[in-house]
Structure 1
């Protein structure tokens, strides 16, 4: 028998397990992953949630409302950080956890859940960067007012399978709140980056930390529209996060970064990296590919009086 209920659907996914299997071997890696997923499940149940099913290296759960789901997300991030920190084997690479949650109606049938809230939450998980928790506006509005300042708006994202873009918010870690308020206040250190110059198809714009994030992609609703079949509709996000400019890949084909004149290229697959100095961001293919779709960047500081041309 099916029933329609209003609840908060949460998806959590552990990433980095492939590297664990390569470095630790099947038995030890499986033990670490199983333990980590089990910890996530216990945290969710401790906050009054219910695990619906496990999904490989992750799980799906439901809560009666977003408040305990947000509390679970915070605890999960802290616990996974401890597990993959001092307590993990010395040669073990760190795992990251991505979380997405959506509050809305769903249909429960024979212990499983279906509906728009489930679909959006699952797709939103694909857009989450390392150690991020993403929510929709509808979910934020179901939270107590005094908790809403814990979230930062990340513009509208095009989620796979949906025609209309979805407005997305990110839960900010507690330890970053004081740093963020300092950066936006009068006491910001003089050496802190003041902005970032982005150059795309001959057009150059400077963004301060206050008017980020920006989305780069093929969609005409992106802040920087790159009309190339190799570029996803919402390909990557550039934002001010934790006192640095962060680039997060949101794409199907990956994002590539080359700093300055260095030959080394950083490859992002749903991951993130810190932008510094000058360089190029390439979408979908390596910067070494002829006519690759690229966007140039230059991190600016207050004492930059004569910025050099972008590479």
Structure 2
């Protein structure tokens, strides 16, 4: 039976797990990551929430209201950042959440709110909580919570970008300008930042308000690269917090050269693209030079 209900959706992702698997081995790393996820589950229940599912090193939770989710998010960050075992293994979390209408069916949750919360999680950095301005503005009593405006971001399925904020969970925020209420939407100015991508005979120009540009083997990507070493959805490029950001989501990794520098391997991580360079999905440039992209960051 399908039921429609407003809920706060929270995604928390363990940062540092990839290196943990490389250095500690699969069994030990899995046990440690499971320990982090168990802690997040306990905090979820403490704040009246419910764990819907875990996906690898990520947990998806629901809460009855925004305040429950916001308080749970801050407690999650405080707990993980202060646990000696997690600190020893250089683990942290990044959290994204959003409150909105959802569809409940067979114990799972679907809908626009889920997609938006997942997008907030993808925007969050290590030790950061990112949420939508509407989620915070719907809270009548924020108590000790402080937020900082991060500008706007594109969300798949939404015509216009939405305003996002950073929830400041650290005890000492003396060096950060914070607000208790969400600031008004920054007025749209001219689109200044652009990225030019070239692949063989194809070229793409992306502006700063464009949704994430996807690259991979499947035809559903913005740019399809049909090679066996390329993952189905291999990587994305988007404009975040003043930078063009390449995010690798692949099995084999992505090789990037910035300017005349050395080629770097990116795997399940993000990298700021600067000025000009090359991108090779799945293999080093020298192995398959015909499959290499070039990029150029431009300002109007």
Q: Name the TM-score, length of structure 1 as normaliser.
A: 0.60
Output the CA distance in 1 between the equivalents of 2:65 and 2:248. 27
Deviations 1:39-78 (A, max 9, x none): 1112222333233344443322221211221222223233
> Relative to 1, partners in 2 of residues 1:87 and 1:65: Cα closer, same or farther, differing over 3 Å?
same
SS at match of 1:74: helix
> Relative to 1, partners in 2 of residues 1:101 and 1:280: Cα closer, same or farther, differing over 3 Å?
same
Map of 1:106 onto structure 2: 102
Contact 2:197 2:293 in 1 (8 A): no
Output the CA distance in 1 between the equivalents of 2:292 and 2:168. 36
Map of 2:166 onto structure 1: 171
Q: What RMSD over aligned residues (CA atoms) do the two structures have, in Å?
A: 4.8
> Relative to 1, partners in 2 of residues 1:250 and 1:151: Cα closer, same or farther, differing over 3 Å?
farther
Deviations 1:146-186 (A, max 9, x none): 7684342342133xxx485763625254569765659xxxx
> Relative to 1, partners in 2 of residues 1:126 and 1:284: Cα closer, same or farther, differing over 3 Å?
farther
> Aligned pair 1:52/2:52, yes or no?
yes
Contact 1:129 1:272 in 2 (8 A): no
Q: Shift of residue 264 of structure 1?
A: 2.9
Q: Shift of residue 262 of structure 1?
A: 2.3
Map of 2:36 onto structure 1: 36
Taking the TM superposition and a 5 Å limit, the aligned residue runs for 1:1-311 are 3-83=3-83, 87-88=85-86, 92=89, 94-108=90-104, 112-117=107-112, 119-121=114-116, 123-124=118-119, 127-131=122-126, 132-136=128-132, 138-144=134-140, 149-158=147-156, 162=157, 167=162, 169-173=164-168, 181=177, 200=196, 217=213, 228-230=223-225, 235-240=236-241, 247-249=245-247, 256-269=255-268, 271-273=269-271, 279-280=276-277, 282=279, 284=281, 288=285, 289-290=289-290, 292-297=292-297
Q: Shift of residue 36 of structure 1?
A: 0.7
Output the CA distance in 1 between the equivalents of 2:42 and 2:264. 40
Moved more, 247-256 or 59-68: 247-256
> Relative to 1, partners in 2 of residues 1:287 and 1:164: Cα closer, same or farther, differing over 3 Å?
farther
Map of 1:302 onto structure 2: none
Map of 1:185 onto structure 2: none
Count residues with an aligned counterpart: 261
> Relative to 1, partners in 2 of residues 1:72 and 1:250: Cα closer, same or farther, differing over 3 Å?
farther
Map of 1:187 onto structure 2: none
Q: Shift of residue 24 of structure 1?
A: 2.0
> Relative to 1, partners in 2 of residues 1:258 and 1:28: Cα closer, same or farther, differing over 3 Å?
same
> Relative to 1, partners in 2 of residues 1:281 and 1:171: Cα closer, same or farther, differing over 3 Å?
farther
